């Protein structure tokens, strides 16, 4: 099959914004037709240094991701070829030896912090979604997740947030929302936006990707509001940074 038979959705947003929650809702609705390629598993391996040294590395920059391998796997999945995804263990800050087989499907979701940062990856995406949530809410979500799921201490999470997460978000992730064609406020709790995405995907599932010409969500009235919000942000962001210069 040609790569047009796969519809690729990029979903990004700052840490703790709820992008995984949105992905989970899509997969829950279309479990047999959706594949997720999680960028978190593509952090570079660091087998050659100690755990203490690995803990000090900056994981909030695009350079921390093996983007070349990630894009290679996206292209293979678009051409209906399975890939062996790495598995990353956040508790030891390193990849595991084993891999996970990821099968291709009609819908491919590329989910991760830097999904809209890389020009080569952007070229592979059909839809680009940015999840917008206030910073104070995001840090609280991250704090709970890292302590409960990743074995981190509260102090280590706060230190990392102040030293790398926040400044890297402002440098790389926040500006990448200007590449999005859909901006979702309130994250995974925005039922209207989630339902819009689900409705957008429905004809792709039922009729096949090659037979449907969807454009960029324009057929939905509710999305016009989200588009206006996106455009207002672009204007604000460009003006704000022009003033800084």
pLDDT at 38: 97
Query: Which of the four pLDDT bands, split at 50, 70 and 90, describes residue 160?
Result: confident
Residue 212, pLDDT score: 57
Identify the band that residue 138 occupies on the pLDDT scale cut at 50, 70 and 90. Answer: confident
> Which of 212 and 100 is assigned the larger pLDDT?
100
Per-residue pLDDT, averaged over 81-89, amounts to: 96
DSSP one-letter string for the chain: --GGGSEEEEEEESTTSSHHHHHHHHHHHSTTTEEEEEGGGGBPP-TTS-HHHHHTS--SSGGGB-HHHHHHHHHHHHTT--EEEEEEETTTTEEEEEEEEE---SEEEEESTTTTT-HHHHTT-SEEEEEE--HHHHHHHHHHHHHHHS---HHHHHHHIIIIIHHHIIIIIHHHGGG-SEEEETGGG-HHHHHHHHHHHHHHHHH-GGG----SSTT-HHHHHHHHHHHHHHHHHHHHHHHH-
Give me the pLDDT at residue 236, please. 44
Q: Is the pTM of this model over 0.85?
A: no
Assess whether pLDDT exceeds 50 at residue 20.
Answer: yes
Residue 190: predicted pLDDT: 83
97 pLDDT band, cuts 50/70/90, is very high
Q: What is the average pLDDT value for the chain, to the nearest integer?
A: 83
């Amino acid at each position: 099959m040609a790569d047009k038979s796969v519809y690729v959705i990029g979903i990004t947003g700052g840490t703790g914004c709820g992008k995984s929650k949105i992905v989970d809702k899509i997969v829950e609705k279309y479990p047999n037709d959706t594949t997720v390629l999680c960028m978190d598993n593509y952090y570079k391996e660091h087998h050659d240094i100690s755990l203490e040294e690995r803990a000090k590395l900056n994981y909030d920059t695009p350079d921390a991701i093996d983007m070349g391998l990630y894009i290679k796997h996206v292209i293979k999945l678009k051409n209906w070829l399975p890939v062996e995804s790495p598995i990353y263990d956040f508790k030891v800050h390193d990849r595991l030896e084993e891999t996970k087989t990821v099968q291709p499907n009609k819908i491919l979701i590329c989910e991760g912090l830097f999904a809209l940062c890389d020009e080569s990856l952007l070229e592979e995406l059909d839809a680009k979604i940015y999840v917008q949530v206030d910073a104070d809410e995001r840090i609280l979500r991250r704090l709970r997740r890292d302590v409960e799921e990743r074995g981190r201490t509260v102090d280590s999470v706060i230190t990392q947030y102040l030293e790398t997460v926040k400044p890297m978000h402002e440098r790389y992730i926040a500006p990448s929302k200007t590449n999005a064609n859909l901006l979702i406020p309130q994250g995974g709790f925005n039922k209207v936006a989630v339902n819009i995405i689900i409705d957008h995907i429905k004809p792709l599932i039922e009729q096949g990707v090659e037979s449907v010409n969807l454009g960029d969500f324009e057929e939905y009235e509710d999305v016009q509001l989200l588009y206006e919000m996106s455009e207002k942000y672009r204007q604000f962001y460009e003006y704000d940074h022009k003033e800084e210069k």
